[in-house]
Amino acid sequence: MHEALTDGTVTLLPLGPADFAAHYAGEDEELVRWLSGDPASPEGLRDYLDCCARWWRDGGPFHNFGIRVGEALQLAGTVDVQTGQYYLKPGQANLAYGLYPQWRGKGFATRAVRLACTYAGTIGCTEAVIRCEPENTRSAAVAARTGFAFLQRRSEPDGRVLDWYTLDVRT
């Protein structure tokens, strides 16, 4: 991906090592609970951001974006377009997203998910999937606002129960 994805308010650009300070400062209990499961250590976060850069260079399977806002392109959170995962059918992309506390409640996640769906369609995906815990009402609300339809509540191999939402992203 060489050009930014933007709707004029939110811009998606590849996440990488230069995002360390903003990402580390932005993590809170809500992001840990719904996305990562454990607080990031500085070393672990550096390794993750290096992996993000490598995945961009190698074409996936994860396409990790920074959600950036304003003319200064301030990092407000992340959205991932994940392909090739064991739980996905061919042509599906899983979307995972989160915003840092000061950016929540302003519609930025909804805008970022719309842009991520557009991106998924451009890399050959036919359907986007959002999987979230039933208690994660903010994530479910983003899915609803972006036109995703509830598909199923499913027990995952790791023991979690997740609600699955899907959206056709063919262009």
Which CATH number goes with the domain that contains 57? 3.40.630.30
Distance CA 35, CA 98 (A): 7
Confidence check: pLDDT of 60 > 70: yes
* Torsion angles phi and psi, residue 11, rounded to 5: -125, 135
Domain count, the chain: 1
Give CA angle at 69 (65, 72), nearest 5°: 105
Range of the domain at 108: 5-168
Structural contact between residues 97 and 142, judged by C-beta atoms closer than 8 angstroms = yes
The pLDDT tens digits for 141-162 are 999 999 999 999 999 888 889 9
The mean-pLDDT minimum among 19-33, 86-100, 123-137 falls in: 19-33
Query: What pLDDT is attached to residue 130?
Result: 97
d(CA 133, CA 45): 24
Q: Can you say whether residue 159 is alpha, beta or left, with left for phi > 0 and alpha for psi between -120 and 50 degrees?
A: left
Burial of 106 (0-12, 13-18, 19+ CB in 10 A): middle
pTM of the model: 0.92
